[in-house]
Amino acid sequence: MRPNISHKPLWLALAAALCAAGMWTYVNRVLIPYQISDAATRGRPRGNLSDLYPRWVGAKELLLHGRDPYSAEVTCEIQAGYYGRPLDPSRPNDPRDEQGFAYPVYVAFFLAPTIGLPFAIVQRAFFWILVVLTAASTLLWLRVLRFSAPPWTQISLLALTLGSLGVVQGLKLQQMGLLVAGLMAIAIALLVTDHAVAAGVLLALASMKPQFVLLLLLGLAVWTVRDWRHRYRWAVSFLVPMTILTAASEWYLPHWIPSFWHAVREYQVYTGAISVLDSLIGTPWSRALELLAFAAMMGVCWRERRQGASTGSFAFTLSLVLATTILLVPTSSPNYQVLLIPALLVLANERRTIWRRGIANRVLFAITAGTVLWPWLASTALAGLSFVLPQQTVERAWAVPFWTVIQIPVGVVALMLIHYYQTTFATRPKPDTS
């Protein structure tokens, strides 16, 4: 007798593969050709455009020649490789992003093994490291969240992750954010499995992008203080390497911290970096909503501080913290949305519960699902059209897949918070009035 095998996971994998292929085809046949032609029309320079390159040049100049990676001279050399020539302020069409070394000095220590190699080799190797790390982090999040998924579902999730707009952009540009997101996923997986020392060390390494780890460290601090005697190990193993890295950085480049913060402030100015809510509604209303989201997130951290690291509540809380990070950090770059992966997995797993809670929940869930799916649908459509329509015609619609990117974190955080507080209040025992 033939076993009754469901074909749903197979069709899900095929649909995910189609979406991933559509995204990569759109980027290669529509987005990049548009950027090249637009740059040629406007006289805008294009070099290697690798986010790793400014960090690599800064590390090379500091470790081999003792030069300040934050200096204007090193920035000019970075621009010569990144853009193909130094930026010229007198040219109105030149990019605003100066590509300065806006990272902590200790990033140079991590890149030290690569500074003697040609950058082309480093670039290719880093690309594949990011691919493996991003794929592994998706599978790790399934373990952290304790979701049992069949192989076809896992393959589908991998395809959707590696074929998402933010990840494709991050891989194409070798964004350091993907590296940091992968380190954070591994660190949390280690913490959940009671490898606290290794988790703390990896979180120290992930601090190369402080804005990524700040809220996570804050949430973990609230959790740790509740039971310091049993939870202190990750904190100590984080603080010790951070102290060593900071001291070593000071030895290599005295007074580097003021230079770093000055570089960060300049970065925010010349890139126009603002938060998601600032982009959507502007100040002062964005500030009020950011404060509300932060307070609601901290409320969850406080309520769940008693939970053990291996519990689902702990994993949910960290997923919410990472999603809220995307909402609050001063940037709306799609590649940062890799931090939304655990929250999206939670919402996908809880979709039936959310859907049954009323019309308002259904509307918000449907809108959020639409914003998440839109980049795949639009890019796949444009990828197909690129084979039948003139190139210039398709390129005019290059921005369509980006239409909903900025709304995704808002919907995800709102759903996570609403789902949590509805569940909390629904299960709260009623007071005894007898």
The confidence score (pLDDT) of residue 2 equals 36
Residue 105 within a domain = yes
Residue 326 within a domain = yes
DSSP string, 297-311: HHHHHHHTTTS-TTS
H or E segment and range at residue 188: helix 176-192
Residue 315 within a domain = yes
Residue 395 within a domain = no
The pTM of this model reads 0.93
- Please check whether residue 166 is in contact with residue 335, taking contact to mean a CB–CB distance below 8 angstroms: yes
**Residue whose pair of structure tokens reads 């930026």 in the numeric block:** 87
Angle at 367 between CA 362 and CA 370, to 5 degrees: 125
Residues 6+ apart with CB under 8 A from 344: 372, 412
DSSP string, 252-278: HSTTHHHHHHHHHHHHHHHHT---HHH
Low-confidence stretches of the chain (pLDDT beneath 50): 1-6, 430-434
**Residue whose pair of structure tokens reads 């909390």 in the numeric block:** 424
Q: How far apart are CA 63 and CA 19, in angstroms?
A: 43
**Residue whose pair of structure tokens reads 């002062």 in the numeric block:** 284
The confidence score (pLDDT) of residue 149 equals 84
Whole-angstrom Cα Rg for the chain: 23
Q: How far apart are CA 201 and CA 242, in angstroms?
A: 8
Residue 103 within a domain = yes
Backbone angles phi, psi at 258, to 5 degrees: -60, -40
Q: How many domains does the chain have?
A: 1
The confidence score (pLDDT) of residue 272 equals 81
| Residue of 333, 335, 17 lying closest to 167 (CA atoms) | 335
Domain hosting residue 334, numbered range: 43-271+280-349
Residue 186 within a domain = yes
Sequence letter at residue 426: A
DSSP state letter for 334: G
Residue 57 within a domain = yes
Backbone angles phi, psi at 432, to 5 degrees: -80, 115
Residue 388 within a domain = no
| Residue of 23, 34, 35 lying closest to 383 (CA atoms) | 23
The confidence score (pLDDT) of residue 8 equals 66
Q: What is the pLDDT of residues 86-121, one digit of tens each?
A: 999 889 889 988 999 999 999 999 999 999 999 999
Q: How far apart are CA 405 and CA 334, in angstroms?
A: 7
